[in-house]
Structure 1
Amino acid sequence: MILAATVSALDPTAQVLLTIFGGALVATLGGLLGVSIQARRDHAKWVRERRYEAFITAIVLLRQVTVLMEEANKITAGSTEGTARGTDFTAVVSRAKELKTGWPEASAPLVVLGPDGVDKALGIAAEALGTDDPGALRAAERALVTTMRKALAIKE
């Protein structure tokens, strides 16, 4: 039995060059894939951080208005608790109105950063701000916070 020698159709120099450039190509593609994955992760992190900042700004404003409206209701109900602290009704209402004018600025990032559920809850909160009803404000705040937690993937 005669053994036939296997001879490559490629020149040995070509084989070496193909191996070198093939390895370089695989390394480059792997690097590009890694960069792409990292860029997506960084962008998702950036969006999550900006959403968090916007959410906090909106919730703080909503809570401040709610507290002021509750204080105004105490004063109008004749509660001595509000007047005992030297709270002036017109000053409280004036401050609440001043805070309400900041709502469009506080809510604009929420509209841009999304998601859509936050935008819907934001509309409900904006309607509640127009009612001057602390109960409606609290309910709108709870709905908004729940939607924000879902957007940030915060488990309860």
Structure 2
Amino acid sequence: MFTLQVLAAGSPAASVPLWPTLLAGAAAGAIITSLVTLLAGALEARREHRRWLREKRLDAYLRAFALTKGFDLNSSKTGKVVASLIAEAVAEGPEDLDAKAAFERLRQDPDYRALDEQASELQATAARELAAVVLLGPQEVAVAVLEMQKSYEAGDDERAGRAEQDFRDAAQRVLRVPRPRRRRR
């Protein structure tokens, strides 16, 4: 057995067993190693969760933004189809203009019908796509996307433009997207 001889001033050499000291050192090392391992695991889990959340937010924000662009495109195309049908009706002669007949003609137009169906699909998709943004947050982005939805539903183009910019800015801040710096002149 290993022993440590201790010499004290003016006393004979005393033997102290070394194994308790070695055992205490090994236990302390094991405890420290375990704590460091647990801490590293917790930090890695936190980092992984942040990465997962960022990816989910990016996907949700992209889908919400794409949805608004879909509404913009659909609205623009619908306006062109309506303008074309009005131009045709006016060309046929003002005496033939009948609001009921014009509306029925519009409803029967295949391009208009396709765009109307697409708009209905976009509206049905909106709740699902925007819900992901609201749930994943943070509140700043959720408020911005809901304001964007309200402004589109109200048909207020100026308000919708501001709301869209607010949504983009909030999403970029949350995702930490670097923005180009403006040059000073």
1:51–1:113 contact (8 Å) kept in structure 2? yes
Question: Does 71-80 or 34-43 show the bigger shift?
Answer: 71-80
* Corresponding position: 1:38 with 2:44: yes
Cross-structure match for 1:83: none
> CA separation of 1:4/1:135 partners in 2, compared to 1, >3 Å: closer, same or farther?
farther
> CA separation of 1:92/1:133 partners in 2, compared to 1, >3 Å: closer, same or farther?
farther
Q: 2:145 aligns with which of 122, 129, 145?
A: 122
Q: What displacement does 1:78 show?
A: 4.1
Count, aligned residues: 149
Amino acid at match of 1:106: E
Which of structures 1 and 2 has the bigger CA Rg? 2
Q: 1:65 aligns with which of 54, 66, 71?
A: 71
Q: What displacement does 1:47 show?
A: 0.4
Tell me the alpha carbon deviations over residues 54-74 of structure 1, each in whole angstroms, 9 at most, x when there is no partner. Answer: 111111111111111112223
Cross-structure match for 1:17: 23
Q: Which runs of 5+ in 1 are unaligned?
A: 81-85
Cross-structure match for 1:152: 175
Amino acid at match of 1:62: T
Instruction: Provide the alpha-carbon RMSD of the alignment.
Output: 2.9
1:68–1:96 contact (8 Å) kept in structure 2? yes
Question: 2:174 & 2:132 partners in 1: Cα distance?
Answer: 14
**TM-score for the superposition, normalised by structure 1:** 0.81
Q: Which has the higher strand share?
A: 2
Question: 2:157 & 2:110 partners in 1: Cα distance?
Answer: 18
Q: 1:111 aligns with which of 129, 134, 137?
A: 134
Tell me the alpha carbon deviations over residues 88-138 of structure 1, each in whole angstroms, 9 at most, x when there is no partner. Answer: 233323311321121010011111110001111111111123134555544
Q: What displacement does 1:144 show?
A: 1.3
1:69–1:133 contact (8 Å) kept in structure 2? no
1:66–1:138 contact (8 Å) kept in structure 2? no
Q: What displacement does 1:15 show?
A: 0.3
Cross-structure match for 1:47: 53
1:128–1:140 contact (8 Å) kept in structure 2? yes
Q: Which runs of 5+ in 2 are unaligned?
A: 1-7, 87-108, 180-185
**TM-score for the superposition, normalised by structure 2:** 0.70
